[in-house]
Structure 1
Amino acid sequence: MWTEVDKTVKQWLKETRVSILEALEHTLNIDTKSNANDLVTNVDKETEQFFVSRIKEHYPQHKIVGEEGFGDEVHELEGIVWIIDPIDGTMNFVHQKRNFFISIGILEDGIGKLGYLYDVILDELYCASKGEGAFLNDKVLPPLQQGNIEEAIIGFNPASIHSEDAASTFIPLLKDVRGARSYGSAAMEFAYVATGRMDAYISKGLSPWDFAGGKIIVEELGGIVTDLRGNPVNLLERSSILVARPGLHKKLCRYFQS
């Protein structure tokens, strides 16, 4: 079954790429959600509606959690659940017309089975099937190796860091690592950890659709995904996130456990 689902999702992603590229040639309809910087466009909504309609048509027994609310009201992870972010990095999408991803995680009874992070502009698909490895397009991604603090490039979300956090945790951490980056898309930063372009990614508050797909891919490569204190994350709840290479993850946790 999973081979068929995987093939189908990849075809849907290619179809959405065509419609998104076409939409970028026209004026976007832009609204805000929780605050003035929490943007949503007609493309976010239309892309999620596309996936929801296709899933309901092909897999009517499956449940869907989507950022824009077109899926189901899901309170438990029994059965097969799709967790979808139609455009991760909407601010980048609006302002830069690049550096945004589609993120999809498919779980069975709470266990990640298939994960997808799709860079629409570059046509780069990061994906994983549990127990079958992870890929960038058709190229096998190697397992993640051990990492060290002093050699680490970390990604982080500066918008989630408050002054007290900076003084007690982030400034000491940033002094100890080799460098820091912020790309404005959790999916993109998960993809970069998966490929070794970064060694870790840290955020104070992400929703399940921000990290479900990336979590499946990184864990398939031997990386570790938890909250900032090293606890497992709930895929139906908002959570802080620490994703890192093995070895490095434990060292980074110490900055947040004191």
Structure 2
Amino acid sequence: MEIYEFGKHLINDAGVFIRKRMLQDFKVDAKLNPNDLVTDVDHETEAFIYERILERYPDHRIIGEEGHGTDIEDTEGVLWIVDPIDGTLNFVHQLQNFAVSIGVYIDGEPYCGMILDVMNDNLFHARAGEGAYKNDVRLKHVADTKLAQSLVCVNANWVVKDHIGQTFTKVVKDARSTRSYGSAALDLANTAQGIVNGALFFRLHPWDYAAGMIILAEAGGLTTNLLGEEIDILKKDSVLAGNPSIHKELQQYFINDDKFVRSHRKAHGEK
């Protein structure tokens, strides 16, 4: 069984593991701030995925949100980028609207991406050059849209943030409406399937976007940072994702706001 097929089986097994495990009590802790939560289930699911990958492919490397791969500084060989539960706040408060996200890169190039909407048991997946799928149904290429006729995913936290909120506010005012699903992976999957037209984030980590970038690309969409620059899959960055038309339109809001650009450079550095 090659990597892509193995990955699809693995992520589905991880979903089964989570659905069984969440029926039991679990511990909730805070990481960097009181709203940045992590649970026993996050750690156990990452360990489940990590052990299965290395059992099958002992020479592969793995970066995980909950601590695996912190010493990885290059993209040589086969690299798995794993978020065991993307949307932990939703997991804790709602027991739904969260995902497992796995992106695989070979020598720095996209190979395949998988996002499992755990409670709905929907698997979004793609292998580079072969199209994107929701379960067994191939996704159509995303249609071009204008912002005024579009739904855009944006977290309200960025709208009220000093030094950057003014730019997000302009986008919110000009869009038809906004949505936020509380999981970057699901926001990107929903962009790929066209039920929203774009997604904006000021800061994501590689495990948040690694799979979604591949899936959206295979559905005809684009992903860069908010300034239109290529994203380094080993680093946190802002993310702008959407169909080609709205991606181009949204980018103008950010690159033409000097105050935003300065804040972005301060947070993420120069390219």
Contact 1:52–1:71 under 8 Å retained in 2: no
Partner of 2:263: none
Partner of 1:103: 101
Partner of 2:92: 94
Residue in structure 1 matching 2:236, options 222, 229, 238 = 238
Give the CA deviation at 1:17: 2.0
1:66-85 C-alpha deviation (Å, 9 max, x unpaired): 00013462101111100000
1-structure distance, mates of 2:16, 2:126: 23
Residue in structure 1 matching 2:187, options 186, 189, 200 = 189
1:202 is aligned with what amino acid?
L
Residue in structure 1 matching 2:110, options 109, 112, 115 = 112
Partner of 1:220: 218
Contact 2:37–2:89 under 8 Å retained in 1: yes
Contact 1:160–1:205 under 8 Å retained in 2: no
1:18-56 C-alpha deviation (Å, 9 max, x unpaired): 221122212211111111111000110011101111111
Unaligned 5+ runs, structure 2: 257-271
Partner of 2:264: none
1:86-131 C-alpha deviation (Å, 9 max, x unpaired): 0000000000000000000000111111100101100000000011
Contact 2:125–2:132 under 8 Å retained in 1: yes
Contact 1:227–1:240 under 8 Å retained in 2: yes
Give the CA deviation at 1:171: 2.0
Partner of 2:55: 57
1:18 is aligned with what amino acid?
V
SS of the residue 1:247 aligns to: helix
Contact 1:64–1:72 under 8 Å retained in 2: no
Partner of 2:207: 209
Of stretches 53-62 and 189-198 in structure 1, the one that deviates more from structure 2 is 53-62
2:165 is aligned with what amino acid?
A
Of all paired residues, the percent bearing the same amino acid is 41
1-structure distance, mates of 2:227, 2:60: 32
Report the aligned-residue RMSD. 1.2
Contact 2:131–2:139 under 8 Å retained in 1: yes
SS of the residue 1:147 aligns to: coil
2:135 is aligned with what amino acid?
N
Partner of 1:142: 140
2-structure distance, mates of 1:78, 1:21: 34
The correspondence of residues 22-61 of structure 1 with structure 2, limited to 5 A, is 22-61=20-59
Runs ≥4 residues deviating over 3 A: none
2-structure distance, mates of 1:42, 1:179: 36
SS of the residue 1:19 aligns to: helix
Asked if 1:165 is matched to 2:164, the reply is yes
1-structure distance, mates of 2:66, 2:76: 22
Give the CA deviation at 1:182: 1.1
**Residues 21 and 229 (structure 1 numbering): CA distance in 2 closer, same or farther, change over 3 Å?**
same
